[in-house]
Amino acid sequence: MVRVPLAEVELNVLDQGCGTPLLLVHGFPLDHTMWSGQVDALADVCRVIAPDLRGFGTSGVSAGTVTMERLADDLAELLDALGIVERVALCGLSMGGYVAWQFWRRHRSRLAKLILCDTRAAADAPETAQVRRDSAERVLNEGPGFLADGMIEKLFAPKTGLAPNIHDSVPVALSKDAREHRAEIIEATRQTILNTSPVGIAAALRGMAQRADVTGLLPDIDVPTLVVCGQYDAISTVDEMRNIAARIPAARFVEVPDAGHMAPLENPAVVNEAIRSFLEATST
Ligand code: MLT
């Protein structure tokens, strides 16, 4: 890991491998460790750069509101700081996808390819935005425990829903290794949320609440694009993501079996194969 100072904050960044840069942008309220199933598998074909975004992991934190635009600008600053001038592939999951849309809007000359995992193009409905603003206040008062409890069930495919007894809800058909893997990734995700700065979480919640609807932008995206969605994603559904892919002229769509919103973590083999073959097929 390296510490990379930007103008306002310092970012904690994983930088591994060489070749075309692949920027992995995590979801909310997580950090670079959600890409643990991708880093080694992709670092032999590209330079994998996985930052903790501002406010997350061990990166610096800003209070108030951190917009998706601000996070996209941080990524451009990060590329400058790392001396990367070539165009990058950017892969964002969920909130990382919201950041990817803004990176496309604001820094498109730096972008070679887009990979959108389990994300949305639509803005929040007014009531959803209000829930986010209320949650921002609550997390500042109480800490992230309630968020961890509420989110875990939504993030993972139903068969990975673990509370209260981790093994009861897992189908017998899963091997012992698979059960243990699922238990590990869910517990690791819970710990990540619990360890995240309440100030960072609140700032991103406010930023997501005010993010723009980018649906109208999709037909203009003219870089090769891969859209990936977990079969059981309850937050950004397969239908919604298929529609996103259908609106982007050069997009391909991959549905990831046995996975929910955290498809790269839940089914890394399928996601890695999709990313590797996309990168290979679109290399010039
Ligand atoms: C995420 O995984 O980043 C979140 O589900 C995004 C959101 O809350 O909209």
pLDDT at 169: 47
Is 80 exceeded by the pLDDT of residue 178?
no
DSSP state at residue 213? P
Number of domains into which the chain is organized:
1
User: Does residue 27 line the site of ligand 1, with CB under 6 A?
Assistant: yes
> Region 186-209: what's the mean pLDDT?
97
User: Does residue 131 line the site of ligand 1, with CB under 6 A?
Assistant: no
> Region 192-216: what's the mean pLDDT?
98
pLDDT at 48: 98
User: Does residue 208 line the site of ligand 1, with CB under 6 A?
Assistant: yes
Atom index in ligand 1 nearest the CA of residue 97 equals 3
CA angle 106, 111, 117 (to 5 degrees): 95
Is 80 exceeded by the pLDDT of residue 188?
yes
Could you tell me which residues are beta bridge partners of residue 255? 229
Q: Which of 208, 211, 214 to mutate to test the pocket of ligand 1 (most atoms within 8 A of CB)?
A: 208
> Region 147-159: what's the mean pLDDT?
86
CB 189 within 8 A of CB 143: no
pLDDT at 166: 38
| Confidence at 182, pLDDT banded by 50, 70, 90 | confident
Query: What distance, in Å, lies between the first and last C-alpha atoms of the chain?
Result: 30
CB 50 within 8 A of CB 84: no
Q: 226 C-alpha to center of ligand 1: Å?
A: 19
User: Does residue 28 line the site of ligand 1, with CB under 6 A?
Assistant: yes
Prediction pTM value: 0.94
Is 80 exceeded by the pLDDT of residue 158?
no
CATH number at residue 120: 3.40.50.1820
pLDDT 10s digits, 64-123: 999 999 999 999 999 999 999 999 999 999 999 999 999 999 999 999 999 999 999 999
How would you label 94-106 residue by residue, b for 16+ Cβ within 10 Å and e otherwise? bbbbbbbbbbbbe
DSSP state at residue 109? G
Closest CA to 200 of 37, 40, 28: 28
pLDDT 10s digits, 8-40: 999 999 999 999 999 999 999 999 999 999 999
Report which secondary-structure segment, H or E, holds 15. Answer: strand 10-16
| Residue with CA at minimum distance from ligand 1 atom 8 | 28
Cα 55 to Cα 71, 74, 201, distances in angstroms: 10, 12, 7
Give the domain range for residue 235. Answer: 2-281
Strand blocks (E) in 17-104: 21-25, 47-51, 88-93
User: Does residue 56 line the site of ligand 1, with CB under 6 A?
Assistant: no
Least confident piece of the model among 173-177, 206-210, 250-254: 173-177
What does the alpha-carbon distance between residue 179 and residue 228 come to, in Å, rounded to a whole number? 23
pLDDT at 167: 40
pLDDT at 21: 98
Q: Which of 235, 241, 261, 262 to mutate to test the pocket of ligand 1 (most atoms within 8 A of CB)?
A: 235
Q: Which of 34, 67, 94, 265 to mutate to test the pocket of ligand 1 (most atoms within 8 A of CB)?
A: 94
